[in-house]
Structure 1
Amino acid sequence: MGNKYYEHIFQPIKIGRMTVKNRLETAPAGPFLADFNGDVTRELIEWYRRLARGGAGIVTIGDSPVKNEMETRIGHVINLGTDKIVNTLCRLAEVIQRYGAKASIELTYHVNRAPAQMSREEIRTLRQDFVNAAWRCLGAGMDMIMIHGAHGQAISQFFSPVRNQRTDEYGGSTANRVRFIKEMLSEIRDKVGDRLAIEYRLSGDELIEGGLTLEDQLEFAALIEDQVDLFNISAAQIFDFDTLPRMFPTAYYPHGVNAYLAAEFKKVLKTPVTAVGSIDFELAEEILAKEQADMVAMLRGVIADPDCIRKAKEGRSEEIRPCIRCNLCIDRLHWGYHWPARCAVNPVTGREAEFYNYPLPLAKKKVVVVGGGAGRHGSCPDCSQVRSSGCVVGERRSPGRTPENSGQPAL
């Protein structure tokens, strides 16, 4: 029986050999809470615990380089380039799975050298780096891996007729340009079998002159479909600032601005498809009901309110603290100095280890929140977590206004 509030969102789905409890996946992003050498920290565990506890079917650990040596190191992201990661990654996977979610991890490669600059030996090494990383993820108990082939990342450049200027078996014809990806996926599958589901992330359209178009990417997806269990359809190209708002749609764009791309892939592929890009619950339900995608990925909304999925399932959507799409989180993670994740509307973001695990007082306490608006609404849920007998708020105050007897104009 479907959920009476969102019938399609809370239906289970089969991905590879695993059954996912609902159609929601947390999209990948690196919160930069690992240590500098790329090991899992308590802060990182608590970050993902909070996402998993909220009710997503799949929780994706973001931005985990398959090779994180000095020449590629960006710091504070999980380093999948060493066997030492298996022990602590295992603990992270267990925390996610404890809440009924499937644990996935995004495999990335951050050296953006054009394919023509790579020797055959470097290509073989890169391919093996992905295979080794997938093997470590399997050893750590992960359920799925996501190959990041979107946004102009290095491996996506092999299929680009503009950026791939090779004249050997890895360049030129369509069959040659897809060869590296097919070989990599085949070798991963040979190594892990069906014990890991494989998700492939790509830009449905790079949206730049000379970039990979929707038609190009539909052809590409069909060529690798036999090795993939789930396609994640994003958009744009990270090296072109004009297209960045389509990667991380701001408040100036409508919700689900890239959803039409997933719908096009859904028309031609038998493999399940995930839509992503500023999608709220109402739109997610519509996308799934119209069979424009099989799953929906969201992250910024879950960062803003980690309980939003549970609230939607319980018919309490009006209680969800919305993401305002200001992209403070994105600015800190991508364009700053790789600072820890923060959120403009959720002060606990990135500080879960500090704020969610304090001991409860032995007796209930009375808490007074003075004022109205966001401060009041943000404080009351926190009061309930520390055995407060309730919030008491001023009666003659309203959001955005000073006290009525002050004679001051409204803000």
Structure 2
Amino acid sequence: MFYYVFSPFRVRHVELKNRVVMAPVGHCLASPNGYVTRDLVEYCKRLAKGGAGVIVLPDSPVDFEYSRMPEYQLNLGDDGVIGGLSLLVESIHRYGAKASIQLNRGGRVVNPNIIRRDPIAPSPIPPRIEDKWLRQFFPQTDYKVVEMTYEHIKMVINRFADACYRCLQAGFEMVMIHGAHGCLLAQFVSPYTNKRNDRYGGSLEGRAEFILEVLDAVRSKVGNSLVLQYRISAEELVPGGMTINDTIDFIRLIEDKIDILHISAGIVSNPETIFKGFAPVFQPRGVHVKYAEKIREKVKVPLALVGNMDIELADKLIGEGVIDLADIARPILADPDYVNKYIMGKIDDIRPCVKCNYCGYRVNRKLPVRCSVNPTLGREIEYPDMPPAKVKKKVVVIGGGPAGLEAALIAAERGHKVILYEKEENLGGNLKCAAAPPFKVDMKSFLNWLVNKVTRNPNVEVLLSTEATPEKVRGENPDAIIVAIGSEPIYPDLEGADKHNVVWAGDVLLGKAKVGEKVVVYGADYDGCETALFLAQQGKKVVLVDNISPQEVLMDIDVAVKAALLSLLHQHNVKFMLEAFISQIMEGEVIVFNKQRSPLKIPFNTVVFSLGMKPRPGAENYRQVAPEVYMVGDCVKPGRLNNAIHQAFNVAAEL
């Protein structure tokens, strides 16, 4: 099974044990001055242990002077980094994987507040959101970009070559030159960002000249000792940007100078395209396959493909000759043993990635990488393996939502005896709402996995349709109690909110509430926006009302997820009424006051409210019932999945 993706692949003098490439994902685990840390070494070692053929370290600037984005990246412009890099390489080689690293220079997309100077780029064009409707939801860039001089260009060419040489000295077999997502090299080749009229602009050949000189300088510096990879955006997906035909013509210019081509899409500074390159839950599997098929027809260089890839799709595409390698990242972050579990036939044991992009959300905020469903990611020093409990305890978990399930699972895996109380007839809690829409198949997979892991563990006794009480739990004589009773919706305090056609978003998603054709969704938080999309995809006419400003909409989630969800809402004709509030729900219409405080009447059949959640009362009743009592998840403070899973893990891992 999966013969093709797990077959070896040879490129130059390097033989990969399989075709899975751990694609570059930001980590924010380097030191502030760009050196290797023990956290980063252990992180890379754990990823390599999981079985991928290649581990690619993410975006590493060829210098810190103009390139750092975000902070806590590796500084490949400093000889002092070589020793630490060699430790990373050793940690990767320990498990038979090959070591690669992505070299980058950001150009115009570098934050001037980080580098403390004006960014330099082929042309003095700052980033700009082209989608006029989407523009209102994102902060606008307002900084100066300086056009690169010939001296700048020569300097950058030399720094790419020197950085690659440092990687060679550290023991890397491969390097990846980042020419995708609107970074500096992509800015040169694209007519969208290159308006020069000298030898580095104009025609495709002129716009490609800088890249050709970079590749030549690298090869001259390292010879044939390094496998040279190049990453592209097959299409930039903005007016005047690179199209697939432009990209194919460009590949023809560079394919004799590179060994592997990695295919992605989009521009990182443009929200309307970023979700194509960093595909969240709303994107289909293999979102870029169409590009790989077209490129394969025209070029001979080995191809690797990213974009919601998995082992099954990778094996199919490699078997059909469409690609040679598969770039997979987030599934490996969610379960570092992802590849090995496929190889060993333990597919049902794989912890599914939910495509929430929490990993990217953290890094974009200068925080160490974490994963919503894998609480040990980035914490490999603290949790190299899950230690068995020194003293086996009887643990009662109250509540079968995500926090309760995670707590029960970890406690049981460590050897404790667990009794799980759930008052409903099935497990999942409010995670059932999050997993209900058709576009949330990854969340549903995770829910099913978590339920199966708990119910099949011999150390867990699950009591469904059984409401816990302090007296009942005290009768179990537990050593520890973990209270995870979750949250409940905040109901609108409005005249008319008690009408039969005013319903909670969670009941809508679960099919418990009947919804008419004209819907007003009150609350533009993540749950409200997803519910609005869920209804709009059924053909409902949806108006989304909230008193927040456009830029406050979905501000607490990853930018690619935000852009994808907003774009889908727009495509499905969901109308936004922001900086507005509902004052009254009447028969067949709601009264809305906009920011001018003018009353508007909106006809409706159903009002769906999504105004947040509040802790379910009763958790404090268990404080004196056992020697150890812990509270986790939404009953402490309502949050997203990562909060529930991480809090529960932290408690259960220390019992």
Partner residue in 2 for 1:405: 466
Pairing 1:199–2:252 present? no
Gapped runs of 5+ residues in structure 1?
A: none
Q: Structure 2 CA distance, aligned partners of 1:403 and 1:379?
A: 17
1:34 Cα shift? 0.5
Which position in structure 2 is the counterpart of 1:349? 377
Point out which structure has higher relative CO (alpha carbons under 8 A, 6+ apart): 1
Alpha-carbon shift at residue 403 of structure 1 (Å): 4.5
- Per the TM alignment, residue 16 of structure 1 is displaced from its structure 2 partner at its CA by 2.5
Q: How many Å separate the matches in 2 of 1:318 and 1:251?
A: 20
Change (3 A) 1:72 1:284: closer
- Point out the more displaced range, 119-128 or 389-398: 389-398
Mean alpha-carbon deviation: is it higher for 249-258 or for 368-377? 368-377
Matches of 2:231 and 2:49, distance apart in 1: 25
Mapping 1:56-205, distance limit 5 Å: 56-69=52-65, 72=68, 74-112=70-108, 113-116=120-123, 117-205=147-235
Measure, in 2, the Cα distance between the counterparts of 1:179 and 1:23.
31
Moved more, 258-267 or 309-318: 258-267
What is the CA–CA distance in structure 1 between the aligned matches of 2:301 and 2:394, rounded to whole Å? 52
- 1:54 corresponds to which of 50, 74, 88: 50
Give distance in 2, aligned partners of 1:17 and 1:97: 16
Q: How much has 1:296 moved relative to structure 2?
A: 0.5
Q: Deviation at 1:72?
A: 4.3
Which one-letter code corresponds to 2:53 in the other structure? Answer: G
User: 1:251: how far off?
Assistant: 1.3
Q: How do residues 3-402 of structure 1 correspond to structure 2 at under 5 angstroms?
A: 5-69=1-65, 72=68, 74-112=70-108, 113-116=120-123, 117-334=147-364, 337-356=365-384, 365=392, 368=395, 370=397, 374=402, 378=406, 388-389=414-415, 392=418, 394=420, 398-400=426-428
Q: For the structure 1 residues 93 and 170, does the alpha-carbon distance in structure 2 shift closer, same or farther, using more than 3 Å as the test?
A: same
Going from structure 1 to structure 2, the CA distance change for 1:8 and 1:71 (only over 3 Å counts) comes to: closer
Aligned residues: 402
Give the partner amino acid of 2:368: P
Letter in 1 for 2:210: F
Distance 2:406 2:52 in 1: 22
Equivalent residue letter for 1:404: S
Specify the code of the residue in structure 1 equivalent to 2:274: L
C-alpha distance in 1, partners of 2:306/2:34? 27
- Rounded to whole Å, the distance in 2 between the matches of 1:354 and 1:158 is 43
Query: 1:367, 1:269 → 2: CA distance?
Result: 62
Kindly tell me: are residues 281 and 390 of structure 1, through their superposed partners in 2, closer, same or farther at Cα, counting changes over 3 Å? farther
Asked if the contact 2:421/2:466 (under 8 Å) is kept, the reply is no
Task: Please state how far the C-alpha of 1:303 moved relative to its aligned partner.
Answer: 0.6
User: Cα offset for 1:395?
Assistant: 8.6
How far is 1:161 from its partner? 2.4
Contact 1:369 1:376 in 2 (8 A): no
Structure 1 residue 364: Cα displacement: 7.9
Unpaired runs of at least 5, structure 2: 109-119, 124-146, 430-462, 469-484, 489-506, 511-655
**In 1: Cα distance, 2:417 partner to 2:321 partner:** 44
Distance 2:281 2:185 in 1: 31
Instruction: Give the deviation of 1:374 after TM superposition.
Output: 4.8
What secondary structure, in the 3-state scheme, does the structure 2 residue paired with 1:61 have?
A: strand
Residues 71 and 126 of structure 1: is their aligned pair in 2 closer, same or farther, counting only changes over 3 Å?
closer
Give the direction of change, closer, same or farther, for the CA distance of 1:124–1:384 in structure 2 (3 Å limit). Answer: farther
* TM-aligned CA distance change 1:253 to 1:171, over 3 Å: same
Q: 1:355 is aligned with what amino acid?
A: Y
Mean CA deviation greater in 314-323 or 362-371: 362-371
1:115 corresponds to which letter in structure 2?
Answer: P
Q: Kindly indicate whether the alpha-carbon contact (under 8 Å) linking 2:228 and 2:260 is maintained by their aligned counterparts in 1.
A: yes
Worse-matched range after superposition: 215-224 or 283-292: 283-292
Superposition TM-score, scaled by structure 1 size: 0.90
Report how far residue 163 of structure 1 moved: 2.1
Give the C-alpha shift of residue 111 in structure 1.
3.0
Q: Tell me the secondary structure at the aligned position of residue 202 of structure 1.
A: strand
1:85 is paired with a residue whose SS is: helix
Distance 1:391 1:11 in 2: 42
Partner AA of 2:466 in structure 1: N
Query: Relative to structure 1, is the Cα distance of residues 8 and 380 closer, same or farther in structure 2, using a 3 angstrom cutoff?
Result: farther
Q: Which stretch of structure 1 is more off in the superposition, 349-358 or 10-19?
A: 349-358
- Distance in 2, matches of 1:7 and 1:367, equals 45
Q: 1:405: how far off? A: 2.9
In the alignment, the residues of structure 1 paired with residue 415 and residue 270 of structure 2 have an alpha-carbon distance, to the nearest angstrom, of 52
SS at match of 2:326: strand
CA contact (8 A) 1:369 1:379 kept: no
Moved more, 263-272 or 370-379: 370-379
Letter in 1 for 2:382: E
Q: How far apart, in 1, do the equivalents of 2:213 and 2:259 lie?
A: 16
Choose 1 or 2 for highest CA Rg: 2
Determine the structure 1 residue equivalent to 2:582. Answer: none
- Please say which of residues 209-218 and 166-175 is displaced more in the overlay: 166-175
C-alpha distance 64-303 of structure 1, shift in aligned 2 (>3 A): same
Q: Is the Cα contact below 8 Å between 1:380 and 1:390 reproduced in 2?
A: no
CA–CA distance in structure 2, aligned partners of residues 284 and 99 of structure 1: 22
CA RMSD of aligned residues (A): 2.6
1:170 is displaced (CA, Å) by 1.3
Shift of 1:391: 6.0
1:203-232 per-residue CA deviation (whole Å, 9 max, x = no partner) reads 011111111000011111111011101000
Separation in 1, partners of 2:329, 2:420: 34
* Letter of the 2:31 counterpart: D
Aligned AA (1:218): I
Q: Is the 8 A contact 2:234 2:264 kept in 1?
A: yes
